[in-house]
Amino acid sequence: MSTEATPAQPGAQASMTASKTARAIEAARAQGRAAFVGYLPAGYPDKDTSIAAAIELARNGADVIEIGVPYSDPVMDGPVIQQATTEVLARGFRLPEVFEIVEAVVEATDAAVLVMTYYNLIDRMGAEEFASRLAAAGGAGAITPDLIPDEAGEWIAATDRHGLDRVFLTAPSSSTERVEKIVAASRGFVYGVSVMGVTGARDQVSDAAERVVAAAKSAGAERVCVGLGVSTRSHVEEIGRYADGVIVGTALVVALRDGGPEAVAELTAELTGAGVPR
Protein backbone atom coordinates (compact mmCIF):
# COMPACT_ATOMS: atom_id res chain seq x y z
CA MET A 1 0.00 0.00 0.00
CA SER A 2 1.27 3.44 -0.78
CA THR A 3 0.55 6.85 0.64
CA GLU A 4 -0.14 10.01 -1.25
CA ALA A 5 1.51 12.27 1.27
CA THR A 6 3.00 15.47 -0.01
CA PRO A 7 6.08 17.29 1.34
CA ALA A 8 5.65 19.16 4.59
CA GLN A 9 5.03 22.89 4.46
CA PRO A 10 6.69 25.09 7.08
CA GLY A 11 4.46 25.87 10.04
CA ALA A 12 1.60 23.65 9.01
CA GLN A 13 0.44 20.09 9.36
CA ALA A 14 -1.69 20.32 6.22
CA SER A 15 0.57 17.90 4.38
CA MET A 16 -0.79 15.06 6.49
CA THR A 17 -4.29 15.07 5.08
CA ALA A 18 -3.58 12.41 2.46
CA SER A 19 -1.30 10.24 4.58
CA LYS A 20 -2.31 6.68 5.36
CA THR A 21 -2.15 7.23 9.10
CA ALA A 22 -4.19 10.41 8.85
CA ARG A 23 -6.84 8.58 6.85
CA ALA A 24 -7.12 5.90 9.54
CA ILE A 25 -7.52 8.49 12.28
CA GLU A 26 -10.01 10.51 10.25
CA ALA A 27 -12.05 7.36 9.57
CA ALA A 28 -12.32 6.78 13.32
CA ARG A 29 -13.30 10.41 13.83
CA ALA A 30 -16.06 10.03 11.22
CA GLN A 31 -17.41 7.21 13.40
CA GLY A 32 -17.51 9.56 16.37
CA ARG A 33 -14.59 8.09 18.27
CA ALA A 34 -10.88 8.47 18.85
CA ALA A 35 -8.59 6.16 16.94
CA PHE A 36 -7.09 3.22 18.79
CA VAL A 37 -3.35 2.80 18.36
CA GLY A 38 -1.83 -0.48 19.55
CA TYR A 39 1.88 -1.14 20.09
CA LEU A 40 3.68 -4.49 20.03
CA PRO A 41 7.41 -5.24 19.77
CA ALA A 42 8.64 -6.71 16.48
CA GLY A 43 9.48 -10.37 16.71
CA TYR A 44 8.18 -10.98 20.24
CA PRO A 45 8.23 -13.71 21.33
CA ASP A 46 9.04 -14.88 17.77
CA LYS A 47 8.36 -13.51 14.31
CA ASP A 48 5.27 -15.55 13.47
CA THR A 49 3.62 -14.95 16.85
CA SER A 50 4.29 -11.21 16.66
CA ILE A 51 2.63 -11.09 13.24
CA ALA A 52 -0.37 -13.04 14.52
CA ALA A 53 -0.71 -10.74 17.53
CA ALA A 54 -0.56 -7.59 15.39
CA ILE A 55 -3.24 -8.99 13.10
CA GLU A 56 -5.42 -9.60 16.16
CA LEU A 57 -4.98 -5.95 17.08
CA ALA A 58 -6.49 -4.90 13.77
CA ARG A 59 -9.24 -7.52 13.83
CA ASN A 60 -10.41 -6.21 17.18
CA GLY A 61 -10.56 -2.52 16.48
CA ALA A 62 -7.06 -1.06 16.23
CA ASP A 63 -6.91 1.65 13.57
CA VAL A 64 -3.17 2.15 13.71
CA ILE A 65 -0.54 -0.45 14.66
CA GLU A 66 2.88 0.40 16.01
CA ILE A 67 5.59 -2.21 15.51
CA GLY A 68 8.39 -1.45 17.93
CA VAL A 69 11.93 -2.18 16.81
CA PRO A 70 14.00 -3.90 19.56
CA TYR A 71 16.98 -1.83 20.64
CA SER A 72 19.68 -2.48 23.20
CA ASP A 73 19.68 0.99 24.78
CA PRO A 74 16.09 2.25 25.01
CA VAL A 75 15.44 5.57 26.74
CA MET A 76 11.64 5.54 26.63
CA ASP A 77 10.68 1.90 27.21
CA GLY A 78 9.61 0.71 30.64
CA PRO A 79 10.56 -2.65 32.19
CA VAL A 80 7.88 -4.75 30.45
CA ILE A 81 8.86 -3.65 26.95
CA GLN A 82 12.57 -3.70 27.83
CA GLN A 83 12.29 -7.33 28.94
CA ALA A 84 10.41 -8.30 25.78
CA THR A 85 12.86 -6.61 23.44
CA THR A 86 15.83 -8.00 25.34
CA GLU A 87 14.49 -11.49 24.68
CA VAL A 88 14.03 -10.70 21.00
CA LEU A 89 17.58 -9.40 20.67
CA ALA A 90 18.92 -12.44 22.50
CA ARG A 91 17.46 -14.79 19.91
CA GLY A 92 19.28 -12.97 17.14
CA PHE A 93 16.80 -10.39 15.83
CA ARG A 94 18.12 -8.30 12.96
CA LEU A 95 16.60 -5.13 11.55
CA PRO A 96 15.44 -6.56 8.19
CA GLU A 97 13.01 -8.76 10.14
CA VAL A 98 10.92 -5.71 10.98
CA PHE A 99 10.21 -5.08 7.29
CA GLU A 100 9.06 -8.69 6.89
CA ILE A 101 6.72 -8.27 9.86
CA VAL A 102 5.33 -4.97 8.58
CA GLU A 103 4.70 -6.47 5.15
CA ALA A 104 2.86 -9.48 6.59
CA VAL A 105 0.67 -7.29 8.83
CA VAL A 106 -0.11 -4.84 6.04
CA GLU A 107 -1.14 -7.67 3.72
CA ALA A 108 -3.51 -9.07 6.36
CA THR A 109 -5.14 -5.89 7.69
CA ASP A 110 -6.51 -2.49 6.76
CA ALA A 111 -4.72 -0.75 9.62
CA ALA A 112 -2.01 1.84 9.10
CA VAL A 113 1.22 0.17 10.23
CA LEU A 114 3.98 2.35 11.65
CA VAL A 115 7.29 1.32 13.09
CA MET A 116 8.48 2.88 16.31
CA THR A 117 12.24 3.03 16.43
CA TYR A 118 15.13 4.86 17.99
CA TYR A 119 16.78 6.91 15.31
CA ASN A 120 20.19 5.34 15.73
CA LEU A 121 18.88 2.27 13.92
CA ILE A 122 17.63 4.34 10.98
CA ASP A 123 20.87 6.30 10.89
CA ARG A 124 22.98 3.14 10.89
CA MET A 125 21.09 1.67 7.93
CA GLY A 126 20.81 5.05 6.25
CA ALA A 127 17.66 7.17 6.18
CA GLU A 128 17.14 6.65 2.45
CA GLU A 129 17.46 2.87 2.57
CA PHE A 130 15.34 2.55 5.70
CA ALA A 131 12.56 4.68 4.22
CA SER A 132 12.77 2.83 0.90
CA ARG A 133 12.48 -0.59 2.53
CA LEU A 134 9.69 0.51 4.86
CA ALA A 135 7.71 1.96 1.97
CA ALA A 136 8.28 -1.20 -0.10
CA ALA A 137 6.90 -3.25 2.81
CA GLY A 138 3.73 -1.14 2.81
CA GLY A 139 4.51 0.66 6.06
CA ALA A 140 2.78 3.96 6.72
CA GLY A 141 5.77 5.61 8.38
CA ALA A 142 7.75 5.77 11.59
CA ILE A 143 7.65 7.16 15.11
CA THR A 144 11.08 8.28 16.30
CA PRO A 145 10.99 9.02 20.05
CA ASP A 146 14.57 10.28 20.35
CA LEU A 147 14.75 12.39 17.19
CA ILE A 148 14.10 16.14 17.37
CA PRO A 149 13.01 18.07 14.27
CA ASP A 150 16.14 20.26 14.39
CA GLU A 151 18.29 17.21 13.61
CA ALA A 152 15.86 15.39 11.35
CA GLY A 153 16.62 16.93 7.98
CA GLU A 154 17.85 13.73 6.37
CA TRP A 155 14.91 11.73 7.72
CA ILE A 156 12.37 14.36 6.68
CA ALA A 157 13.77 14.37 3.14
CA ALA A 158 13.71 10.57 2.93
CA THR A 159 10.13 10.32 4.21
CA ASP A 160 9.05 12.96 1.72
CA ARG A 161 10.62 11.02 -1.13
CA HIS A 162 8.88 7.80 -0.11
CA GLY A 163 5.52 9.20 1.02
CA LEU A 164 5.91 8.08 4.62
CA ASP A 165 4.47 9.57 7.76
CA ARG A 166 6.90 10.79 10.41
CA VAL A 167 5.72 11.19 13.96
CA PHE A 168 7.55 13.30 16.50
CA LEU A 169 6.81 13.46 20.21
CA THR A 170 5.72 16.38 22.35
CA ALA A 171 5.80 16.24 26.13
CA PRO A 172 4.52 18.22 29.14
CA SER A 173 7.95 19.86 29.32
CA SER A 174 7.99 21.01 25.66
CA SER A 175 8.18 24.76 25.19
CA THR A 176 5.80 26.61 22.90
CA GLU A 177 8.59 27.07 20.36
CA ARG A 178 9.46 23.36 20.55
CA VAL A 179 5.83 22.30 20.11
CA GLU A 180 5.53 24.48 17.01
CA LYS A 181 8.58 22.79 15.45
CA ILE A 182 7.28 19.32 16.32
CA VAL A 183 3.87 20.03 14.81
CA ALA A 184 5.33 21.53 11.64
CA ALA A 185 7.65 18.56 11.11
CA SER A 186 5.16 15.79 11.90
CA ARG A 187 2.99 13.98 9.38
CA GLY A 188 0.24 11.51 10.28
CA PHE A 189 -0.20 12.69 13.85
CA VAL A 190 1.68 14.24 16.73
CA TYR A 191 2.50 11.85 19.58
CA GLY A 192 1.49 13.44 22.88
CA VAL A 193 3.45 12.03 25.81
CA SER A 194 1.15 12.18 28.82
CA VAL A 195 3.80 11.84 31.53
CA MET A 196 7.49 12.43 32.03
CA GLY A 197 9.00 8.97 32.29
CA VAL A 198 9.06 5.62 30.56
CA THR A 199 6.28 3.44 29.20
CA GLY A 200 4.20 1.36 31.57
CA ALA A 201 0.64 0.85 32.79
CA ARG A 202 -0.56 3.39 35.37
CA ASP A 203 -3.68 3.63 37.54
CA GLN A 204 -4.71 7.09 36.38
CA VAL A 205 -4.31 9.25 33.31
CA SER A 206 -1.95 12.13 33.96
CA ASP A 207 -3.68 15.50 34.18
CA ALA A 208 -0.90 16.78 31.89
CA ALA A 209 -2.24 14.78 28.94
CA GLU A 210 -5.03 17.21 28.09
CA ARG A 211 -2.64 20.15 28.32
CA VAL A 212 -0.23 18.43 25.95
CA VAL A 213 -3.01 17.97 23.40
CA ALA A 214 -4.20 21.57 23.79
CA ALA A 215 -0.67 22.91 23.29
CA ALA A 216 -0.20 20.88 20.11
CA LYS A 217 -3.60 21.92 18.77
CA SER A 218 -2.78 25.58 19.48
CA ALA A 219 0.39 25.10 17.43
CA GLY A 220 -1.65 23.85 14.47
CA ALA A 221 -1.74 20.07 14.95
CA GLU A 222 -4.68 18.44 13.20
CA ARG A 223 -4.26 15.10 14.94
CA VAL A 224 -2.77 14.37 18.35
CA CYS A 225 -2.65 10.87 19.83
CA VAL A 226 -1.82 10.32 23.49
CA GLY A 227 0.27 7.53 24.92
CA LEU A 228 2.14 6.35 28.03
CA GLY A 229 0.29 4.89 30.97
CA VAL A 230 -2.91 3.92 29.13
CA SER A 231 -4.12 0.47 30.14
CA THR A 232 -7.89 0.39 30.71
CA ARG A 233 -11.10 1.07 28.80
CA SER A 234 -11.82 4.00 31.14
CA HIS A 235 -8.43 5.50 30.21
CA VAL A 236 -9.29 5.12 26.52
CA GLU A 237 -12.66 6.78 27.00
CA GLU A 238 -11.22 9.62 29.09
CA ILE A 239 -8.43 10.46 26.63
CA GLY A 240 -10.73 9.97 23.66
CA ARG A 241 -12.80 12.94 24.82
CA TYR A 242 -10.02 15.40 23.91
CA ALA A 243 -7.44 13.51 21.80
CA ASP A 244 -7.68 12.14 18.27
CA GLY A 245 -6.14 8.81 19.17
CA VAL A 246 -5.26 6.71 22.20
CA ILE A 247 -2.03 4.70 22.28
CA VAL A 248 -1.70 1.49 24.30
CA GLY A 249 1.52 -0.50 24.56
CA THR A 250 2.60 -2.10 27.81
CA ALA A 251 -0.79 -3.61 28.64
CA LEU A 252 -0.87 -5.32 25.24
CA VAL A 253 2.68 -6.61 25.64
CA VAL A 254 1.73 -8.11 29.01
CA ALA A 255 -1.25 -9.79 27.37
CA LEU A 256 0.96 -11.21 24.62
CA ARG A 257 3.54 -12.38 27.15
CA ASP A 258 0.99 -14.11 29.35
CA GLY A 259 -1.61 -15.36 26.90
CA GLY A 260 -0.38 -15.08 23.34
CA PRO A 261 -2.29 -13.57 20.40
CA GLU A 262 -5.62 -14.77 21.84
CA ALA A 263 -5.08 -12.62 24.93
CA VAL A 264 -4.12 -9.67 22.74
CA ALA A 265 -7.39 -10.11 20.85
CA GLU A 266 -9.41 -10.23 24.07
CA LEU A 267 -7.76 -7.16 25.59
CA THR A 268 -7.95 -5.15 22.37
CA ALA A 269 -11.67 -5.90 22.06
CA GLU A 270 -12.14 -4.74 25.64
CA LEU A 271 -10.11 -1.55 25.21
CA THR A 272 -11.68 -0.57 21.89
CA GLY A 273 -15.18 -1.40 23.02
CA ALA A 274 -15.51 -3.93 20.22
CA GLY A 275 -16.88 -6.52 22.63
CA VAL A 276 -16.33 -10.19 21.90
CA PRO A 277 -12.94 -10.84 20.21
CA ARG A 278 -13.20 -11.54 16.50
Point out the catalytic residue in the list 63, 66, 222, 238: 66
User: Looking at the chain, how many residues does it have?
Assistant: 278
Rounded CA-CA distance 35/10 in Å is 26
Phi and psi torsions of 157, nearest 5°: -65, -40
Active site residue 262: no
**Long-range contacts formed by 179-183: CB under 8 A, 24+ apart:** 179/215, 179/216, 179/218, 179/219, 180/11, 180/219, 180/220, 181/148, 181/149, 181/150, 182/149, 182/216, 182/219, 183/13, 183/216, 183/219, 183/220, 183/221
Sign of CA dihedral 218, 219, 220, 221: negative
Cα–Cα distance, 43 to 214 (Å, whole number): 35
Which one of 26, 56, 63, 77 is the catalytic residue? 77
Residue 63: active-site member:
no
CB 277 within 8 A of CB 266: yes
State the helix-helix crossing angle for 250-272 and 79-90, rounded to 10 degrees.
110
CA distance 252 to 275: 16
Which residues participate in catalysis according to the annotation? Answer: 66, 77
